[in-house]
Structure formats: structure tokens, C-alpha cells
Structure 1
Amino acid sequence: MPLFLPLDQQEAWRDRYRREHPGWRPATHVYRDLVARHLGPATRVLDLGCGRGGVMEELRPRAGWAAGLDPDRTSLAEHRIPDFPRACGRAESIPFPDGAFDLVCCSWVLEHLPDPRRALKEVARVLKPGGTFLFLTPNVLHPLLQANRLLRGTGRRWVPRLYGRAEADTFPALYRANSPRRLRALLAESGLEVCALIPVGDPTYLAFNEALYRLSCTLEALLPAPAKVHLVGEATKPWP
């Protein structure tokens, strides 16, 4: 049995969980709505780790100007918005000037960074005073993430098969900035003030059948908030 459920099946269980738990939303929806609330006709946005598309595919028209940064040249060449401004580079050395952006956003990026401290300092550098950093990342305190760390490499072997990705598009997860405590510390060191750190549960990853779905829902109800599987965060760069 694979460690994670294929995406199409997972979405079907999510639809059911949403019906059974009114008000619950997947972390991707929470993140998307948070990004949308920070956009306006004059907003300059950096999509950090943009890959082939992401949240800006839908939300770009709401921003004044948006650009992407990713270290993978193949992903950039195959971006689903052909005229989307994008650059090849790493979060630890963002090739934009100080104070270039009102908003920096990233999803499924922080867990891959070899040096998150340096990357977050770069985020703070390219933000204008009063600017916002939004992110979505796994929470290493969740039991599933703990298991994945123990079974090193398992997730990377299965993700391409389950989510239809090429193996070259599946990057190793290092989890060096992936607990609430660690994130708060790194953001503070970088000169960013945490406004919100939202834990979002999701019991569908192991819902291979009815019994496992019910078991996952029971475990989800027992998990304390700081150990939910995903973290959606908002931090700001203070005014001098």
C-alpha cells in the first residue's frame, strides 16, 4: 500500500469531509483566499517557487504586477502563463532589488529549503515596509510527516506516481522550517512579524477505504491544533 492516497481519490474524500464538517476548507483554499485578500490594482507580487503556475494562474489579474521565481528551468519554460514574468533563481538569493514587492507568497516551498533562515531574510529584504509574506507548508509535527521523515525517501518515490509528476519535479523535503515554533523563530530573526499562523487539518491522506477514512477522522479530531498537517501563515515587514 502506498504511503499517500492518489490525488483524485483524495479530493473525493475531501468533498465528503467538507459535507460532514461544514466550515472546513482545505489548506490550499485557505491560502488562496488569503493571497486574494492582499491583492489590489497597485500590488506588486513575487510568487516564490512558482513552478509551472500555482496561485497566480487564477489571481494574477487582481494584482498590479506579478513575477515568479523558481530554481527549476524546465518548470519555468513550461509555465502555464506564457507571458508571466519569471526568473530562474533560489529563495536564498532573490534576484530583485530591496523593497521591490508588496507581497511575497509561496506554497509548498519552505519544506524544501536547505537554508530557510537565509531565504526568509531575502524575503524580508525584497518586501517594502508594510509588505506581507504569505505561505503554505506542511507541519512536521503531524504524525504523517513524522512517519515520512522516518521512512526517508518513501514520499519522494510515491509522489510522482500518485500525483502524475515527473520524478525530476519531485524535490526532497528537508523540513528545516516546518513547525510553528521554528517558523516563528525564523521569521522573527528575519525581521518579519507574524500576524497569523493557521493550522489546517486534513484527514484524507490515508483514506484508502471507508474504515481508514473513519479512523483518520477520529485521529484528526484528537490532534491538537499545533500538530495539524498544514500551516498557512502571514507575516509582515514592519515600518521603520
Structure 2
Amino acid sequence: MSHITISYHYVDCNRKFEHYDANRSFFQEYYATRLAAEPGISCHVLDIGCGHGTNPTISRIQHVLGEVDGVDPFPVVQPHPLIRQRWTCAMEEIPVPSNTYDLAYSYNVVEHVVNETSFLAKTIEVLKPGGVYWSMSPNARHPFTVIVRIMQALGIKYLYRRSIAPQANDYPAYYRLCNATKVLKAIEKLDLPVSKIDFFLIPSVQWDTFFPRRLRFIAHLIDRVVVLNAPSMSNIFMFRMEKMDTGPRDGAAT
């Protein structure tokens, strides 16, 4: 791992609950802003887990997007109009050549990845040298992920979705790429050609929407007493992974 530059960023931390309550979409805006600042965003882009409808990330950065392809394991009747080509398969099975994309990103996807090493290996493989992958997901250290795991272990997630939070997804969450330690271990295991990785932790109180309205005080209490005082437990986890640049880019002089 000595060849990788590793950085940690704690964004918008150490504020009161009321600040985060009044700025609930900040993490989405921050993610979109960072994506929009990437040079590769206007080139060949891969949306990993492009989903069924309008990805909130695409909506915010569509003015700078280049050619966008998408991959998602679930079929869809009407793909997002900005997706040029869409593959219905897992990321590990995407049928594209190595060194295809300048930029790849995912929005609330990596928490559902079963095999973290094969996922990252394929993501790095399809990036061009110097290409970048951005991920946003829940933080594996946040209480929300603990609650989800307990519900899955008890087999009651379906009942929870049906009676309390229909916005919750109905497929398992593993959180194997949702903290820095696990991401670095996956990279090290296969000695992936990563030159730089940045980790970002951003507080958010939006998880209270997964509680019944009359019980949201529980989430607020946990935030006020514990989470907002411990930046490493922040609700949102992002990372930016840059593929090692081993030579001239396409079209560059040699």
C-alpha cells in the first residue's frame, strides 16, 4: 500500500443538529459538485447501479456530462434518457474492454456489493489509466447500518418496508465497501493499480425518515448525543479512487 496516497476528509462536521436538519440535501450537492469538477466527467462515463429512474446525481450534473453508459443488475422498461448504453448485469459482468472509461461513479450502490474485491477489480479494469471512480453510500459505522443488519438477520426487513418505510430497498445490504478499512483491504488483497484514494465522511440527519414519524425523536437523540459528536460515525461515506497512470492517455503524443 506504500504506493497509494491516502487522504481522509471530514466535511461540514462539528455543527449542531439544527444545521444539518436545515441542510438535508447537502451531501447530495457536495457529491454532485465533486463529480462535476472531475475532468473525466465530460468524456466517457459509467454510471454503476444506474437504477430504474432518475438518479439524483445525474440530475445535478447533466449539464457537464459527456457520453454516459450504465450498468445495473435489474432490468428497466425505460432507461434514463441520458444513458447511452445500458447493461443489465452485475458490475463484475459488464462486457466492456479494459481502459474504456474516464470516470465511473455510483450512488448508494456499494453497500449491496457481495464480493468487494471482484467489484473493485472490475471497476479499476474498465477505467483508463488516470481514470477516477467515485462512490457514495451509508457509512458502515453509522447506527443506521446496524439497524438494517439486525432487521435482515431477523428476517423482518420486508415487513419493515411494507408497514413503515416503503422507500427502503428490498435487497440485502452488506456494507463491505462502506468504510475506509474495508476498501483498503480489498485494494491490497489484489494489489490493484490504485495511485490515490480519498475518503470523505459527511454528517446527515436524513436517516430519521426511515423511522415512523412519531419515533423520529429516537434518531434525533442518537444524532445529538452520539453521531454528530463523532465524525468517524457520520452518516455519509464517500471515496474517490484514482487508477494508476502508467503511460500516455489516448491521443497523447508519445
| Superposition deviation, residue 73 in structure 1 | 0.7
Match of 1:229 among 199, 223, 235: 235
Partner of 1:6: none
Partner of 1:86: 86
Take 1:108 and 1:96, find their aligned partners in 2: how far apart are those partners? 23
Letter in 2 for 1:94: I
Report matched runs for 1:68-147 at 5 Å: 68-74=70-76, 77-81=77-81, 84-147=84-147
Letter in 1 for 2:245: W
Query: Could you list the runs of 5+ residues in structure 1 that have no partner in the other structure?
Result: 1-14
SS of match in other structure, 2:81: coil
SS of match in other structure, 2:197: strand
Task: Give the structure-2-normalised TM-score.
Answer: 0.74
Q: Calculate percent identity across the aligned residue pairs.
A: 19
Letter in 2 for 1:190: L
Structure 1 residues 190 and 178, CA gap change in structure 2 (3 angstroms): same
Report matched runs for 1:154-233 at 5 Å: 154-155=156-157, 157-159=159-161, 164-165=166-167, 170-188=170-188, 189-206=191-208, 208=213, 211-212=217-218, 214-215=220-221, 216-223=223-230, 225-233=231-239
| Superposition deviation, residue 137 in structure 1 | 1.2
SS of match in other structure, 1:79: coil
Letter in 2 for 1:70: D
Letter in 2 for 1:195: I
| Superposition deviation, residue 218 in structure 1 | 3.0
Superposition CA RMSD, Å: 2.9
Letter in 2 for 1:66: V
Query: Could you list the runs of 5+ residues in structure 2 that have no partner in the other structure?
Result: 1-16, 247-254
Structure 1 residues 154 and 38, CA gap change in structure 2 (3 angstroms): farther
| Superposition deviation, residue 154 in structure 1 | 4.3
| Superposition deviation, residue 19 in structure 1 | 6.8
Which 10-residue stretch deviates more, 54-63 or 65-74?
54-63
Which 10-residue stretch deviates more, 117-126 or 210-219?
210-219
| Superposition deviation, residue 47 in structure 1 | 0.1
Partner of 1:8: none
Check the 8 A contact 2:41/2:103 in 1, yes or no: no
Take 1:41 and 1:196, find their aligned partners in 2: how far apart are those partners? 18
Which 10-residue stretch deviates more, 154-163 or 81-90?
154-163
> More relative contact order in 1 or in 2 (CA 8 Å, sep 6+)?
2
Residues 29-84 of structure 1 show CA distances to partners (whole Å, capped at 9, x for unaligned) of 2221111111567511000010023122442341221111111013xx23342764
Task: Give the structure-1-normalised TM-score.
Answer: 0.78
Partner of 2:244: 238
